Amino acid sequence: MQTVDVQSWKNLSDTVFVPHNETEYERLVSMLDNLIDEIGEDENHPLASLMDVLSALIENYENANVPELVLE
């Protein structure tokens, strides 16, 4: 099993985190937008998996905090 040392996580935790409020959510959305601009459709880009992780964190926040639009 691979371990992560505390210093590595401290460096990474400013970028990858679970958003707990609108400000943190917007920070992740902004980071994702910048990654999309840089990466585009390149699934082999070194940051492509970071884009996937941020997308999942954003989706989880939206599922828990953004009411669904009801179409009639």
**Residue 69 reports pLDDT greater than 80:** no
| Residue predicted with more confidence, 67 or 23 | 23
What is the rounded distance in angstroms from the CA atom of residue 44 to the CA atom of residue 16? 20
Contact (Cβ atoms closer than 8 angstroms) between residue 39 and residue 45: yes
For tokens 């999309």, the residue is 36
Instruction: Give 11-48 pLDDT, tens digit per residue.
Output: 888 889 999 999 999 999 999 999 999 999 899 999 99
Residue 70 pLDDT: 67
